[in-house]
Structures are given as C-alpha cells and as structure tokens.
Amino acid sequence: MNASYTLALLKQPPRYLFFTGKGGVGKTSCSTAVALALADRGLRVLLVSTDTASNLDEMLGVPLRNHPVAVPGALGLSVLNIDPNQAAEDYRLRVLAQLAVDVSESERGTVREQLSGACTTEIAAFDEFATLLAEPPADFDHIIFDTAPTGHTLRLLSLPKAWSGFLADNDRGASCLGPHSGLKMQEQRFQAALAALTDPALTEVVLVTRAEVAALAEAGRTSAELRELGLNRQRLLVNGVFKASDRSDTVALALEARGEAALAAMPAALCELPRDQVPLRSFDTVGLPALRGLLSELPVGHATLAAVAPPAQLDAASLGALCDDLAAAGHGLIMVMGKGGVGKTTIAAALAIGLVQRGHAVHLTTTDPAAHVLPTVHGDLAGLRVDCIDPKRETELYIAKIMAARGRTLDDAGRALLLEDLQSPCTEEVAVFHAFSRVVSEARSAFVVMDTAPTGHSLLLMDATGAYHRQMMREFEGRNSAGRVLTPLMRLQDPKHTRIIIATLAEQTPVSQAAALQDDLKRAGITPFAWVINRSLLAAGARDSLLTARLIGEQRQVQRIRAGLAERLYVLPWSATPPVGVATLAGLTAS
C-alpha cells in the first residue's frame, strides 16, 4: 500500500469535502483518490456520489447503493450513491403512507402520478443530500462528495438556501409537490444543511480543473457563485498537468504549451486560492492500485513508459463526413449527448456551423445550465441562430404564463397563493422541460442542434419527457384521439425527426458511460445515430512516451466501440488550436 501522498489538501481536511468542476476534469478520480488516501491513514471515510451518471461502481469494483457499501481492499472506506430514482420512489412511498386508510386506489394513483415528475426526483435526491449534512452518520470521520458537473452541482448546493427561504415564507406547508409532501416539517433539516455548508470549519469545496482555458474559466465562475451562496472555504486542484518528455514530439510540446498558457491566464480569483496539482498519468484510474497511484509520488506504471511502442494511427471517418450524412435529411433535431467534458459543445457547434455551410438555416441551443455554447461559437454567421435554454428566464416566462392563464379568474388572495406556490424551486425544472419541448417541436421544419447537459442531468430531462408522454396518453385514452397525439418523446423516438450523437473520449470511463447512456436511451425507444470520438491523440499521431502509453488504452477503447457499440463511428483528432470561434469550428467539418 503506497501512502506517499503530497497533496496539501490531505493535511488537515474538514469533515465535508465537495469536489466540483466542469465535466471531464477528473472529479470522480480525484475525490475517490483523496477518500482512499484518508482511509489508508486509518480514518473512516464515506464517499458520496451525487452524479446520476456516476461511474464509481466501475472505478472501485463495488455495486452502488443508496446506503453505505464497504469497499473491499480499502479498510475504512465506504461508498454511497444518491440514486434520484430510488430516492423519488422512497419519497412517493412516504407520501402515500400518510394518506388516509379510506382513500381509494384511484386517488392513490392520482397522487403517485402527481409525484412522478422531475420535480419530485430533484427534491427527493436533495432530501437525501440534506440529511447527510444535517444528520451525518456518526461512524465516519469524513464525508466526501463526488458531484455532478458544475451547473447541476450549483443547483444542488443552492437548494438548501432556496428551500429554506421558500418554506420560511410559506405557512401552508404546500408546494408544487402537493399538501402531502411534508416539506414544512423538513424546514429545520434544510436550515441545518445550509449551516453545515457555509461553515468553513466543516466544509471545503475543491474546485477541480484541467490546465485548459474553458475549465479554468468555469472554475472561476463557480468560485464566485459559491461565495454568493456563503461557501467561502475553497481550494483549486489542477488535474492532468502534462510535461512533455520527448522535445521532438510537436503534439506533446503543443499540449504542454497550451496547459502552461491556460494556467498563466487563469482568473485572478483562482490565483488567490490554495492550489494542488496532479500530473497527467499514463493509466486509466480504474481499480485501487491506479487510484492510489494517481496521487502518489511514484505512480503505478511510471517505470514502464520507456518500453511502450506507439500503436498505429487511427483510421476513421471525419466529423465532416458526419455533417454530410446529417445534412442529407434537410431538417431535424440533432442532440449531442455524453459524459461531461467529452466535448459535446465543440461537436454540437461544429456540426451546426457545418450544416450552415452546406446551405441550411440552423438553430444551435443548449440544455446545459453552464451554457458553454455561446463562448464556444464566439462570433456571428449568417443562417446560424445561437441561444441557450436559460433556466431563470424560462422560469420567469413560465410563471407569467401560469399567472395569466390560471390567475385571471382568481381574487387577490387566490393569486397571491398561486404565485407563492410558483416560487418553489421545483418550478424551474418544469419551465425548462416546457422550453425543451418547444425546441424539439421546432425541428419539424428546420435544423436544430442541441448541446445537452452532461449525461445525468440529461437523463432526468428524459425522465420528465417520459412522464409527460404517459400523462398525455392517459388523458387521450378513450377519446379516440390517441393516434393524433404527438408528444416530445414520440418525436425523440422518430429517427426521421431526431438523431442522437453520442460524444466520448477513447478512455475507459467515458466509453463505459456512453454505453450506459445508449442502453438508457434504447430502453426509452431511442436509438442513437452515431458515436464521435473527440480529441483523439491516436488520430493526431503523438509519440511522447507518456502519451504513447495512453494511446494503447485509446486503441483498446476504439476496438471496443467498433465491436458493437456504435453503428456509425466518427473521429475528431486532438488539435493544438483551441476549438473556439466560427472559423476554427468550420474547419472541423470541412468537406
């Protein structure tokens, strides 16, 4: 067991550690390695995943449950996954148990259906999260949270304050979840969770980033937003820092130079934070030896790098070829999906610009709360409309619409009660779904390219789409009109209307999560159109010894994808030029 760890954050960590950051920066690897390092010291550690698309099970080789599970080979370490679906079902059962014994099965069914949407899922998952902070299990010295990508995590961390404020102003104990939710009874717990989050003696937020401009910019924005929420104890962890060993390898030198330039230009607020760095490793962080090696002074596999021979370059269809295939349909919805950090925004923006170059008008939008699509395009192009589904704006529009439709027949007191309910944090989820539905419908006569949120958040949106579909089907049953109903889910299931592009990196964890995402989509009746491997060093032709060791793993993942995961496979090579701006993105899909 290697205990030679040098990270400063391991010296005096508080009870709660939150790891957050842009998708793909290595939050799960770093949080798990830190949890393992603390457990190796003899401490009792609970590692909690709040990401609905968590890969901790693959990384640690243990099944994830909504209760602590001991990790074999790591004495003192347990892992827990806040599963939103299981949390929502437990929440529904608690609500149903509170109903009177004489309530009919039909009435029970109505209540269950009212609690089947994304709103219930969010509040149920949040309730589990709040309990860990307000009523922490006494048998753990540290609780470490491996969170979802930034946008979703900021939403989660803002909920204690949002729900506490909502409940403080709501004396009726009701909300959009209905009078049976019992939220008012949980007000004290939410306030205790908020107190723990904002106590610097108890909680530190670790902003995980890469030495990349976009990741550092997001870390800077996140730092500011966390301070607004009262989370002032923060630390920066720069993961995957690369130093070229082969000074004749132009790809390696460019990769090193980009990292150094990004760190030199990082936001000023980040420069003031205590900082740790983790070098880029030659191996995937799967399994206890690799996780121990991630933070170690002499990681696993380091001594064998010089003996690795470079594999052959990757031969696969280009992103331009994919754009040609998509353009042939003339219109439709193109959704780019995948794990955070695999380059969904780059691929979506490049495809949108490529379609415009091929003579089509295109609407490029995003469901990601972090909204990277606007700075990625960074310019104007005739025929291209770029925007984002802004949760705050959509919520304002939705509230105004409901007040106009349902409030016009109410008296002043009734309007006040309706508006009070609409101030619930859950309203945002409903508003975003309605905006998503509008965009899906728009693709009937034009091209819409959608950059989606990271996998877990997108699957929750898909759940809302499925719940709405089931509700519509029930409402139209018996009216002889079900055949004329066309729900957003039905449009997503129609390959003539929607083409799903799964983006990934040629690494074990992103490919595994992409495969799991594809399975979830297929269970919903949606078959992805193609896979895209982004930032392929294999396709770029790197020769540096450390990169070469990684290329062997990349080649293995390409073979895995070609062995049956993807019907169509396209590749975008790593480039020394950052994929930002209309001209650069246009070059990615040139015919």
From 240, 271, 300, give the residue that closes a domain: 300
334 and 295 inside one domain: no
290 and 327 inside one domain: no
294 and 369 inside one domain: no
Q: Minimum mean pLDDT among 53-57, 290-294, 312-316, 325-329: which range?
A: 312-316
Alpha carbons 453 and 337: distance in angstroms, whole number = 7
The answer on pLDDT for 96 being more than 90 is: no
Question: To the nearest 10°, the Cα dihedral for 357, 358, 362, 366?
Answer: -70
Set 49, 52, 78, 509: catalytic member: 509
295 and 323 inside one domain: no
Q: What is the pLDDT of residue 157?
A: 52
What's the rounded mean pLDDT across residues 510-515? 89
The answer on pLDDT for 415 being more than 90 is: no
Q: b or e along 392-422 (b: 16 or more beta carbons within 10 Å of the residue's beta carbon)? A: eebbeebbeebeeeebeeeeeeeeeeeebbb
The answer on pLDDT for 589 being more than 50 is: yes
What's the rounded mean pLDDT across residues 67-82? 91
What's the rounded mean pLDDT across residues 292-318? 65
283 and 339 inside one domain: no
The answer on pLDDT for 395 being more than 90 is: no
What's the rounded mean pLDDT across residues 513-532? 89
Of residues 524 and 518, which shows the higher confidence score?
518
The answer on pLDDT for 361 being more than 90 is: yes
The answer on pLDDT for 86 being more than 90 is: no
Q: Is 330 a catalytic site residue?
A: no
66 and 16 inside one domain: yes
Phi, psi of 96 (to 5 degrees): -65, -35
Q: Is 512 a catalytic site residue?
A: no
In a domain, 211, yes or no: yes
Set 29, 31, 54, 222: catalytic member: 29
Q: What is the pLDDT of residue 112?
A: 67
Q: What is the pLDDT of residue 313?
A: 61
The confidence band for 103, taking pLDDT boundaries of 50, 70 and 90, is confident
What's the rounded mean pLDDT across residues 119-127? 66
CB-based contacts of 108, cutoff 8 Å, min separation 6: 96, 99
What would the pLDDT profile of 549-574 be if each residue is shown by its tens digit? 888 888 889 999 999 899 899 999 88
DSSP string for residues in 302-331:
GGGGGGPPPPPPP--B-HHHHHHHHHTTSS
Name beta bridge partners: 573: 536
Which residue has tokens 């480039």? Answer: 575
Structural contact between residues 579 and 350, judged by C-beta atoms closer than 8 angstroms: yes
Q: What is the pLDDT of residue 434?
A: 80
Q: What radius of gyration, in Å, describes the C-alpha atoms of the chain?
A: 24
Q: In this structure, what token pair is assigned to residue 61?
A: 């080789």
In a domain, 61, yes or no: yes
Q: What is the pLDDT of residue 36?
A: 95
In a domain, 512, yes or no: yes
Alpha carbons 227 and 297: distance in angstroms, whole number = 33
Q: Is 51 a catalytic site residue?
A: yes
Q: What is the pLDDT of residue 499?
A: 95
Q: Is 24 a catalytic site residue?
A: yes
In a domain, 462, yes or no: yes
Q: What is the pLDDT of residue 464?
A: 54
The average confidence (pLDDT) of the chain is 80
The answer on pLDDT for 445 being more than 80 is: yes
In a domain, 425, yes or no: no
Q: Collapsing DSSP states into helix, strand and coil, what is residue 247?
A: coil
The 3-class secondary structure across 333-396, one letter per residue, is: EEEEECCCCCCHHHHHHHHHHHHHHCCCCEEEEECCCCCCHHHHHCCCCCCEEECCCCHHHHHH
Q: In this structure, what token pair is assigned to residue 442?
A: 């728009």
Q: Is 29 a catalytic site residue?
A: yes
490 and 366 inside one domain: yes
Question: Domain span at residue 571?
Answer: 319-390+445-475+485-588
Residue 476: other Cβ atoms inside 10 A: 15
What's the rounded mean pLDDT across residues 93-110? 72
Alpha carbons 307 and 102: distance in angstroms, whole number = 74
The confidence band for 475, taking pLDDT boundaries of 50, 70 and 90, is very low
Alpha carbons 505 and 467: distance in angstroms, whole number = 31
331 and 275 inside one domain: no
Single-letter amino acid code for the residue at 136 = P
In a domain, 312, yes or no: no
Q: What is the pLDDT of residue 174?
A: 43
| CATH code, 250 | 3.40.50.300
Q: What is the pLDDT of residue 302?
A: 44
Q: What is the pLDDT of residue 510?
A: 87
Q: Minimum mean pLDDT among 192-196, 368-372, 392-396, 459-463: which range?
A: 459-463
Domain count, the chain: 2
Q: Is 146 a catalytic site residue?
A: no
Among 36-50, 57-71, 294-308, 403-417, the range of highest mean pLDDT: 36-50
Q: Is 27 a catalytic site residue?
A: yes
Alpha carbons 207 and 316: distance in angstroms, whole number = 36
In a domain, 1, yes or no: no
In a domain, 293, yes or no: yes
211 and 358 inside one domain: no
| Long-range CB contacts (within 8 A, 24+) of 89-93 | 90/66, 90/124, 91/115, 91/120, 91/123, 91/124, 91/127, 92/116, 92/120
579 and 543 inside one domain: yes
Q: Minimum mean pLDDT among 49-53, 141-145, 239-243, 530-534: which range?
A: 49-53
From 253, 270, 300, give the residue that closes a domain: 300
281 and 327 inside one domain: no
Of residues 339 and 361, which shows the higher confidence score?
361
Phi-psi region at 223: left, alpha or beta (left = phi > 0; alpha = psi -120 to 50): alpha
Set 21, 22, 23, 26: catalytic member: 26
What would the pLDDT profile of 198-253 be if each residue is shown by its tens digit? 899 999 999 999 998 888 988 998 899 888 888 899 999 999 999 998 888 888 89
Residue 201: other Cβ atoms inside 10 A: 9
What's the rounded mean pLDDT across residues 491-511? 89
Set 21, 22, 28, 455: catalytic member: 28
pLDDT above 70 covers a percentage of the chain that reads 78
Alpha carbons 358 and 591: distance in angstroms, whole number = 10
The secondary structure element, H or E, covering residue 72 is none
What would the pLDDT profile of 161-199 be if each residue is shown by its tens digit? 555 555 455 554 444 444 334 455 466 777 788 888 889
Set 31, 40, 49, 51: catalytic member: 51
From 300, 327, 344, give the residue that closes a domain: 300
pTM above 0.75, yes or no: no
Set 23, 24, 151, 332: catalytic member: 24
Q: What is the pLDDT of residue 131?
A: 81
331 and 183 inside one domain: no
Single-letter amino acid code for the residue at 505 = L
